[in-house]
Chains A and B, each alone.
Chain A
């Protein structure tokens, strides 16, 4: 499929990498505007309570004081919930977590705004807070919202009860996974400035400009055309800048419109950690019935997630985890129930994988537990049950094409020399060594739950000198979007990629293209580029035919040339562009693509959950120090089916970054909370992996093209993360000869596992 492509499948370094590395890139923190004021959130210091009184006396005395804005001054709706309308922009009466924003301090300097925010005296009537799922679930009154349940999802397929009765073996286990902080390098930040024409412009470090546009319009009570959102260069997001910038954007826009000056707000790191969303912590119960030969028969799965104080994206996280709860395997009879519970913790939201890493830990630990009980090779068990073309998923969706799951298992085993490295529990006295494997599935784009906004656009404009401007509706946030958009545009128009300039996202340029999430940029934007190109190419061919004196059908376009295929005469693209202008021909076209309609029944969880799926398998090898419980991940071997790979260098970067981030989630990143206050709120206590902790990664692409993807491509940004942690956990289990049921596996926990296994291990 890609054999004739010029740019697709060739490695490109990211077009913005050099500026970022040299410090030339201007981020929100670097931007100054004339007469700019600063804002800072005033937030709750109690986890759950009613605001009784707000005293501004001390705050008003701070030099540089401009304003303190409270809920009653919001001209529009005091609502910022992205799916469920449960989250006020400024909490007026009830506060539901430490970090719930009550007001906005506005001052002449950032330091004064911080100080004002600290000096606002708020008295509360406190309620008994709920922090754990169990506490939230058992509540009988004083709920966090109307109820403590944020959302629920289910699947029922076949007859699980009967299938369990027929099963030769039933394996049951409970698992839990921890929360995780995104720790994007650049903290949350936005600036808003009122324009003379009454429009308000918001620039920000964000991944979903149209979300911010809607939130600002809603809060200010304005039409969408009164709000323009421009994405600033964004220093990492990972889902953490999906819905949260809507809050910041609406708050700075409110302040800017009230004082009629530009206003900037940047969260300090420790506050960013306290206030903004995290990965959902999960509790999971798995019961799986299997035949003696390893064929999966039945599964019953209960998923519980800690949603924190507001629903934000919990309903779609819960949806995705439900649909993917048994991974890339065929299970003919299955019941899944998933519930997200409100608690008085910071809201859980979007984070790379979006509910997938948690269930991947569940289903991949289960596969190892089953393999162990059947005394069967874990790879063979996976291969026996893996999804293939024509097989049905747990939602009853028959897969028609691009199912590379089996090949990812085989390739991960091949490049890791799985067979010859059966290091089971090997030891040299102090250290033990093990290897683990994990496979995963990832539904591309938003799925049935988000189909109504699963369209995206581009605007391609050929300029007179032959340069080509591309505006797109999704966002660059470090994942390499600008680079693949340039590649795909050059490929689609048959031009030199150096002609292509891709613009940062601006709501004025392209219609609402939905959120930049769900690993959807390549698929959505790529198809939109092909749509726009299909409108430009006939115009280019007709113009070339005139210039070359041949029929339009004889013109081929490629390699930056239009060629008369009969005579071989050529005209360069720059000349062609100029000719278009001289002939007053159209030179700009919009492209649009939406995900095919999905047939899905939410009551049974049956139908087309997503239009296609990406697959991945990782093998991890670990060394465990039996004296300290420290785990060193010695390597990860990753095989990914992302369909046709657009930029192999980008894919490799995604996988290496995903593995590093998942290594942290698996081993060291441990959010500790004391009565709703996060106490691991800096880089010395919240332990991200360093370059020395991140394992070496070897990646192989299993290219099983999807006919609906551009050039056959699918997404890879989140799949890069998903199988790594369960592979590491399986490797630890393999090294120690004990089962593991929770993440993170910090050194004290690993030492505990060792002590359980041999009671004397704790003592020398």
Chain B
């Protein structure tokens, strides 16, 4: 196995270009990669450690957006004041992400590229309408997150390309995040979701819901939100529409039915509370 730690993007492209693209494995926080090797995944041919790339670092706030470098750790997101002010759901997701040791190593770029249906930062990023900035030998491009992730572990990232940052448009809406893990920490989500919302006259004037771990990729529950926002449906009447947007599976963490039930239970409860309905049951 060969290991390199490039010091700039230019150096990265040079080193990555020197080997067949299929042979390159990118290492950032390593919190997904390393357990894979422990579990018997063959070691990589060429490991490129991108932790020292300055171009992938930093959180930049602009008038209408905030740009988060791919190497930003989950802990840095938790601690950042601009993100805390504007993107509550993302901070809540970071709060419930694994445990302290992993939060200090794992990066937001890694969570995007890993493209797990249960990744905890993904539902907030979907709900915020995040855009992924990609850099490659041919230059930069941006892709909406929804298009960037194509399936479990699958993205549109071409060989040689890296995620440089993720860009969040500043919203006036409030947001929240919910996660059900089967224990209080160090648990992979059985269901998670993020909501951005605005309430006017006892009804939602804006509502976006992104749910994780209930389909091959994070899904926006558009059928439900459309019914609630545009057609004035009641929460009780509309909740069954969730089934149109999700397709959970049985796995060793939980049965599909359980995921479906819990998502609807907690979502209904949460939406009722947002509308001031008090105790959701």
Q: Which residues of chain A have a CB within 8 Å of any CB of chain B? A: 270, 428-430, 626-630, 632, 668, 672, 679-680, 682-685, 687, 689-693, 746-748, 751, 762-764
Known: A692-B184, A763-B264. A685 touches B253 (CB 8 A): yes
Q: Does B269 lie within 8 Å of A764, measured CB to CB?
A: yes
Chain B positions within 8 Å of A693 at CB level: 183-185
Report how far A54 CA is from B280 CA in the complex, Å.
63
Report how far A691 CA is from B99 CA in the complex, Å.
11
Report how far A432 CA is from B235 CA in the complex, Å.
23
Q: Does A430 lie within 8 Å of B280, measured CB to CB?
A: yes
Beyond the given A684-B35, A746-B182, could you list 5 further A-B residue pairs with CB under 8 A, ordered by the A residue number?
Answer: A429-B280, A668-B183, A690-B183, A693-B185, A747-B190
Chain A positions within 8 Å of B239 at CB level: 763-764
Q: Does A764 lie within 8 Å of B236, measured CB to CB?
A: yes
Known: A628-B266, A764-B236. A428 touches B184 (CB 8 A): no
Nearest-neighbour CB distance to chain B for A299, whole angstroms, equals 36
Chain B positions within 8 Å of A687 at CB level: 182-183, 187
Nearest-neighbour CB distance to chain A for B21, whole angstroms, equals 28
Chain B positions within 8 Å of A751 at CB level: 258, 261-262
Q: Does A679 lie within 8 Å of B269, measured CB to CB?
A: no
User: 8 tightest CB-CB pairs across the interface, nearest first?
Assistant: A429-B279, A764-B268, A692-B184, A627-B265, A748-B258, A690-B185, A693-B184, A693-B183
Judge if B198 is at the interface, Cβ distance under 8 Å. Answer: no
Partner of A680, one of B180, B235, B252, B268: B252
Partner of B255, one of A428, A626, A632, A748: A748
Report how far A495 CA is from B198 CA in the complex, Å.
74
Judge if B200 is at the interface, Cβ distance under 8 Å. Answer: no
- Can you list 11 A-B contacts (CB < 8 A)? A429-B281, A682-B35, A685-B252, A687-B187, A689-B183, A692-B183, A693-B183, A746-B182, A747-B258, A748-B255, A748-B258
Q: Does A692 lie within 8 Å of B185, measured CB to CB?
A: yes
Judge if B188 is at the interface, Cβ distance under 8 Å. Answer: yes
Q: Does A684 lie within 8 Å of B280, measured CB to CB?
A: no
Residue of A nearest to B278 (CB): A429
Number of B residues, CB within 8 Å of A? 32
Q: Does B281 lie within 8 Å of A672, measured CB to CB?
A: no
Q: Which of B234-254 contact A (CB under 8 A)?
A: 235-236, 239, 252-254
Partner of B39, one of A630, A682, A690: A682
Report how far A672 CA is from B254 CA in the complex, Å.
11
Chain A positions within 8 Å of B190 at CB level: 747
Q: Does A428 lie within 8 Å of B258, measured CB to CB?
A: no
Q: Which of B177-193 contact A (CB under 8 A)?
A: 180, 182-188, 190
Report how far A198 CA is from B190 CA in the complex, Å.
57
Report how far A594 CA is from B265 CA in the complex, Å.
60
Q: Does B252 lie within 8 Å of A747, measured CB to CB?
A: no
Report how far A764 CA is from B241 CA in the complex, Å.
13
Report how far A690 CA is from B181 CA in the complex, Å.
12
Residue of A nearest to B261 (CB): A762
Q: Does B188 lie within 8 Å of A627, measured CB to CB?
A: no
Q: Does A747 lie within 8 Å of B280, measured CB to CB?
A: no
Report how far A657 CA is from B278 CA in the complex, Å.
39
Q: Does B182 lie within 8 Å of A668, measured CB to CB?
A: yes
Known: A751-B262, A764-B268. A430 touches B183 (CB 8 A): no
Q: Does B255 lie within 8 Å of A430, measured CB to CB?
A: no
Report how far A428 CA is from B182 CA in the complex, Å.
22
Report how far A684 CA is from B188 CA in the complex, Å.
7
Chain B positions within 8 Å of A680 at CB level: 252
Chain A positions within 8 Å of B266 at CB level: 627-628
Chain A positions within 8 Å of B269 at CB level: 430, 627, 764
Report how far A693 CA is from B281 CA in the complex, Å.
26
Chain A positions within 8 Å of B184 at CB level: 632, 690, 692-693
Report how far A682 CA is from B35 CA in the complex, Å.
10
Report how far A272 CA is from B197 CA in the complex, Å.
48
Chain B positions within 8 Å of A692 at CB level: 183-185
Report how far A629 CA is from B190 CA in the complex, Å.
13
Chain B positions within 8 Å of A430 at CB level: 269, 279-281
Residue of B nearest to A672 (CB): B252
Nearest-neighbour CB distance to chain A for B213, whole angstroms, equals 13
Report how far A627 CA is from B266 CA in the complex, Å.
6
Report how far A429 CA is from B180 CA in the complex, Å.
19
Q: Does B279 lie within 8 Å of A764, measured CB to CB?
A: no
Chain A positions within 8 Å of B35 at CB level: 682, 684
Instruction: Point out which of A628, A692, A762 has the most chain B C-beta atoms below 10 A from its C-beta.
Output: A628
Chain A positions within 8 Å of B264 at CB level: 763-764
Known: A680-B252, A685-B252. A628 touches B265 (CB 8 A): yes
Report how far A680 CA is from B235 CA in the complex, Å.
38
Residue of A nearest to B271 (CB): A764
Report how far A764 CA is from B234 CA in the complex, Å.
12
Nearest-neighbour CB distance to chain B for A220, whole angstroms, equals 33
Report how far A272 CA is from B262 CA in the complex, Å.
34
Report how far A428 CA is from B35 CA in the complex, Å.
41
Q: Mark B11-47, 1 if CB is under 8 A from A, else 0.
A: 0000000000000000000000001000100000000
Report how far A689 CA is from B258 CA in the complex, Å.
21
Partner of A679, one of B252, B254, B280: B252
Chain A positions within 8 Å of B182 at CB level: 630, 668, 687, 746-747
Nearest-neighbour CB distance to chain B for A208, whole angstroms, equals 30
Partner of B254, one of A627, A748, A762: A748
Instruction: Point out which of B180, B261, B268, B278 has the most chain A C-beta atoms below 10 A from its C-beta.
Output: B261
Instruction: Point out which of A430, A683, A691 has the most chain B C-beta atoms below 10 A from its C-beta.
Output: A430
Nearest-neighbour CB distance to chain A for B257, whole angstroms, equals 8
Chain B positions within 8 Å of A690 at CB level: 99, 183-186
Report how far A687 CA is from B188 CA in the complex, Å.
10
Nearest-neighbour CB distance to chain B for A430, whole angstroms, equals 6
Nearest-neighbour CB distance to chain B for A386, whole angstroms, equals 35
Report how far A628 CA is from B281 CA in the complex, Å.
13
Nearest-neighbour CB distance to chain A for B73, whole angstroms, equals 20
Chain A positions within 8 Å of B186 at CB level: 683-684, 690
Instruction: Point out which of B35, B99, B253, B267 has the most chain A C-beta atoms below 10 A from its C-beta.
Output: B253
Q: Does B180 lie within 8 Å of A630, measured CB to CB?
A: yes
Q: Does B252 lie within 8 Å of A628, measured CB to CB?
A: no
Nearest-neighbour CB distance to chain B for A368, whole angstroms, equals 26
Chain A positions within 8 Å of B180 at CB level: 628, 630, 747
Chain B positions within 8 Å of A746 at CB level: 182
